[in-house]
Structure 1
């Protein structure tokens, strides 16, 4: 017989962007049953003095990546990444994130291991491998002639380099076969890739059109690593659902995003993570460190302009570049970039769920949805700085998974 659990006494932020309010929550069979006052149940959890949030989202992570120390990366056994992924997933869950979109690296085996309870972690939406043109952000060719890809291909993770619409179309089908839930494409250069420039657009329109058409036919959205202004605009024209990073936004790109309803996943913490890693003495290429320093301020300004214009925003961190478990640092950077606190939290809950297409099941505290909860010690406060230190418990599908 199922047990009805009541959480009482807390201030509840329901995920919609409204201010927290005092109410009770009942959970049964892993779903929210009622939200209100004077509710009945079989077990009472007293949360007086606490604040409750819906389970949080991170829409851009790499759970099989554990930092950007290139020497360590090339000296690690191939399978080591999957054991590290278990630790990364648990660290992510412990900071209140119960759902992630993996932006390349995690394969069907990682996703299924979480679903089947073999390992503990947030539920995953996976892209498996990101698509790159030759010489693009996903091309691991080094000046020495060695190739160090972001994620080494294996039978469940196809190689991602494609050139021309025919190759692009076929690769989307291969990724769907491998279990991808979303397609990721690099439409510009990036910070960590040594042989390209974040200001340069990648892929031509016919290639991007083929990717989007094929993904749409397979029932999948497309996300674009897009830092360059032209690469952002190419992605928007093609109908890609979300712009990841969006460093060099301009007024025209923002207007195009508003017109098309395109999402922004800013990952403000990512360039900072590159600089921090270098300062810690890790073997990060100097070209990457220099590019990270060059983009930090313009990245923040682009985000601020997008917020002012009303662009749809969902939280993402690029964790894997920086440490897993530090994901909530992004919230304070979003706040510093001009986004009101409740809007930041909505971007990390209900808006993120909409971006992923999972808003019917997740993202808000309301009857019928899956019972993911984050319990914070004390009131929410006037800033999101240090919010991770307030986390007392995390629930996923009504079960306490971290305390």
Structure 2
């Protein structure tokens, strides 16, 4: 009898997991070719795409299901290459690091993670937090929390007093001298140790702050903050551990040093010169423009008390520059990757970046490709993410309108599937 019951349970379990999903798509964006196809059926089994068929194909098994997306435009799950999933900037955030416990950060991060997923971003690269982002990634992978697939830097790496030194702005008694473990380096040896520590902690990628930044409680927002030998040590060590490198950079000299050292993505790129643009083309370094963040900080800096006074002039200077720099870089042929800096502005509003990129001169289809096949390649996941094709993860989203004709529809994702599970319908 026990054997019979066990066999019955196994049979029931198999029948549940064997259910396939047939997505009937009115329009389907082929991110590889850049074409918008019509009347296609995506067949999903488990967490993978089995095939993409012409026309509206009906299920072969009675337990299979159909999802009607005939009046929608369907595309691969979106990838944001620059988010900070643990937090959101607001007037309180500058004191929160002294009042919030790690548990507070963790619980709040789950809210931001779900909001990001519901906005159609099924994969993100988290570029720095307290280290809770690593635990969040594990919780999402284990199915304990709803959220995007996360590639995380853990804690960022900065120099003493640099953008990313968490003790900036603290009173004398709290002005500690953090080291590589906390993400502060002052030599090539420190830099190597910091990269190895992030690997040990479970990070996937490395993020450094090559120049000053807007939201750090420090005066300069664009000065160089890493020496050449420190940058080379970061890149060499990250390469040894198979980790992608990213550099926050507003100032041109800091960007040039980072690109020459081999940093793969330049985040923001505000005051990038034509010389640096040409260098990025030569080195195949990517610009992650984060126009959304620039617009947000410039807007909020005009509100009295929203930011500490030391931040306001930086926000007013840097914010309005990002979109114009992106236009020049795109026209000059700099490789572009999609990234928003969500967390500087509210999570879930990532889709605005598509509209800003199109306004700046990038065709709508290319903005979508930057958030799919380009970012998948940078994450070394080009055979799993960024396309709707057999063998790829079933990360699929849909909009009401065709974004190649109305890009603002990317701000209203109406269907979300990640790993074959429907989260929004």
Query: Shared fold by TM > 0.5?
Result: yes
Q: Secondary structure at the match of 2:107?
A: helix
Q: CA deviation at 1:66?
A: 2.1
Q: CA deviation at 1:278?
A: 4.3
Give 1:197's aligned residue.
Answer: 220
Cα distance change, pair 283–147 in 1 and its aligned pair in 2 (3 A): farther
The structure 1 residue matched to 2:103, chosen from 68, 79, 86, is 79
The Cα RMSD (Å) is 2.1
How far apart, in 1, do the equivalents of 2:388 and 2:191 lie?
A: 40
Give 2:48's aligned residue.
Answer: 31
How far apart, in 2, do the equivalents of 1:229 and 1:85 lie?
A: 33
Cα distance change, pair 159–319 in 1 and its aligned pair in 2 (3 A): same
Q: CA deviation at 1:80?
A: 0.8
- Between structure 1 and structure 2, the one with the greater Rg is 2
Contact 1:68 1:277 in 2 (8 A): no
248-257 or 37-46, which deviates more: 37-46
1:64 is aligned to 2:86: yes
Cα distance change, pair 399–190 in 1 and its aligned pair in 2 (3 A): same
92-101 or 60-69, which deviates more: 60-69
How far apart, in 2, do the equivalents of 1:91 and 1:322 lie?
A: 13
Q: Secondary structure at the match of 2:310?
A: helix
Q: CA deviation at 1:181?
A: 0.7
Q: Secondary structure at the match of 2:381?
A: coil
- The number of aligned residues is 397
The structure 2 residue matched to 1:21, chosen from 37, 40, 46, is 37
How far apart, in 1, do the equivalents of 2:407 and 2:173 lie?
A: 43
Contact 1:141 1:147 in 2 (8 A): no
Give 1:320's aligned residue.
Answer: 343
Deviations 1:53-105 (Å, cap 9, x if unpaired)? 10001111111112242245543334211111000000000100000000011
Give 2:74's aligned residue.
Answer: 52
1:7 is aligned to 2:23: yes
1:115 is aligned to 2:141: yes
Structure 2 unaligned segments of length 5 or more: list them.
1-14
How far apart, in 2, do the equivalents of 1:383 and 1:234 lie?
A: 39
Cα distance change, pair 240–269 in 1 and its aligned pair in 2 (3 A): same
Q: Secondary structure at the match of 1:275?
A: helix
Cα distance change, pair 392–107 in 1 and its aligned pair in 2 (3 A): closer
105-114 or 34-43, which deviates more: 34-43
Matches within 5 A, 1:149-168: 158-168=181-191
- Scaled by the length of structure 2, the TM-score of the pair is 0.88
Deviations 1:168-199 (Å, cap 9, x if unpaired)? 11111111000011111111001111324233
Q: Secondary structure at the match of 2:246?
A: strand
1:90 is aligned to 2:114: yes
Give 1:128's aligned residue.
Answer: 154
Ranked by relative contact order (alpha carbons within 8 Å, sequence separation 6 or more), the top structure is 1
- Runs of 4+ with >6 A deviation: none
1:141 is aligned to 2:171: no
